[in-house]
Each structure stands twice: as structure tokens, then as C-alpha cells.
Amino acid sequence: MSEKEVAQEAQAEEVKESAVIEEVEGLEADSVPGAEVQEASAELLQSELEKAQAELVDAKNQVLRAHAEAQNVRRRAEQDVEKAHKYALEKFTNELLPVVDSLERAIESAQSEEAGIGAIRDGVELTLNMFVAALKKFNVESVNPEGEPFDPQLHQAMSMVENAEVEPNTVLHVMQKGYQLNGRLVRPAMVMVSKAAPQAAPKIDDQA
């Protein structure tokens, strides 16, 4: 083989090699963008998934808050209805209490032993007892704290009297009974309360 033919053959091999290299580089170039697209798509899907999960958690929290608020509203409504039923007679009770007071005063005034007065007193006492029994059926209870410690939540002090025989702040006399409706104070008891007597000044021994 001549040198010319050898040179031509070598040149042809170089051409083939160059073509192969270009083909390989082209394949590599085509494969890289595809991998980048797949990676970007995976990141986008992951981001969307995390966003959807966060929205789901937020929606669950909103449902729980709405449910709790609905329960609170229902509970408050039930309490309001219960109170309305329980204390519906409060104004009516206030209107009846002066009648009870008048009957009690009538009995206190009718202390004569005369036959006519005694019969009237007995009739008034019977009426009063029936009246008080009717009030108790509707949970109206009297507050009659004579001899008990003074309670500012249930009693109204009309006067204070020195009394060494009882503890200070003891109810000595009930001027007007108080009343409660289902445990709620309708009218405080008007009372007279004891207070401590002033201590006597020490005696001075003149013989000293």
C-alpha cells in the first residue's frame, strides 16, 4: 500500500471517529435536559403535595373550631332557657311577698284572747300557712336568720345594737323576712345586728 493510500485510510478513520464522538455528544446533550425536566417535575409535585396537606390540616382545624363554637352556642342557649324557666316567677313572687308580710303582721297584732279576735287570728294563720305552702311548691323559701351570723349576701342590716350576751354580728331580730327563688335571692332579710359593747375604762385605785 502506498503512502498516499495509507494517509487516505487514516484520514477516513479520523472522520469516522469524529462522527462517532459527535453522535455520542449529541445523545448526552439530549439526555441531560430530560433528567432536569424530570427532577423539576418531582420538585413541583412535592411542593403541591405539601401545599395540599397544609390546606387539609387548616380545613380540619376550621371544622373543629366551628364545631366547638356551635357546642358553646348550644350550651349557652340551653342555660338561658333553663334560667328563664327557673326564674320566670321572680317578678310574680315579688308581688306576692307584701301579702305574706301583711298576714304576718296581722297575726302579731291579734294577740288578744277574746273569742272573736282569737277566731280571726286562727283564720289568718290558716290563710298564711296555705299561702306559704303554695310558695314552697314553686321553690320560694323564706330567709329568717334570727340568732344566726349576719350574712351580707342574704341580709340587710337596718340597725346595730350593743349586746354583750351574743357574738358581734349576730342577727338579734328579723324586722322583715327575706325570700329566695330556687336559691336566688329575691329580697334580703331586714335585720337588727349585734355589735360589741365598748370596753369599760380601767378603774384607778385612789388608795394607791
pLDDT in tens, 103-144: 888 888 777 666 567 778 888 888 899 988 988 988 999 999
How far is 138 from 93, CA to CA, in rounded Å?
10
Strand order in the sheet with 178-181: 140-143, 178-181, 184-187
CATH superfamily of 90-195: Head domain of nucleotide exchange factor GrpE (2.30.22.10)
pLDDT in tens, 161-195: 998 889 999 999 999 999 999 989 999 999 999 99
Q: Which helix (H) or strand (E) holds 179?
A: strand 178-181
pLDDT in tens, 23-50: 655 555 555 455 666 777 878 888 888 8
Contact in structure between 176 and 159 (CB atoms under 8 Å): no
| Chain CA centroid to CA 93, Å | 28
Task: Identify residue 127 by its one-letter amino acid code.
Answer: T
With cell 356551635, the residue in question is 70
**Residue that wins the pLDDT comparison between 44 and 19:** 44
How far is 84 from 69, CA to CA, in rounded Å?
22
The radius of gyration of the chain from alpha carbons, rounded to an integer in Å, stands at: 50
The answer on pLDDT for 208 being more than 50 is no
The answer on pLDDT for 152 being more than 80 is yes
Query: How high is the pLDDT of residue 173?
Result: 94
With cell 315579688, the residue in question is 94
Handedness of CA 130, 133, 138, 140 (dihedral sign): positive
| Chain CA centroid to CA 38, Å | 57
The neighbouring-strand residues paired with 149 are 170
The structure's pTM equals 0.56
pLDDT in tens, 58-75: 888 888 888 888 888 888
| Residue 136 in grid coordinates | 314552697
Nearest to 98 by CA among 121, 131, 126: 131
- Phi and psi for 176 in degrees, rounded to 5? -155, 130
- So where are the chain's domains? 1-86, 90-195
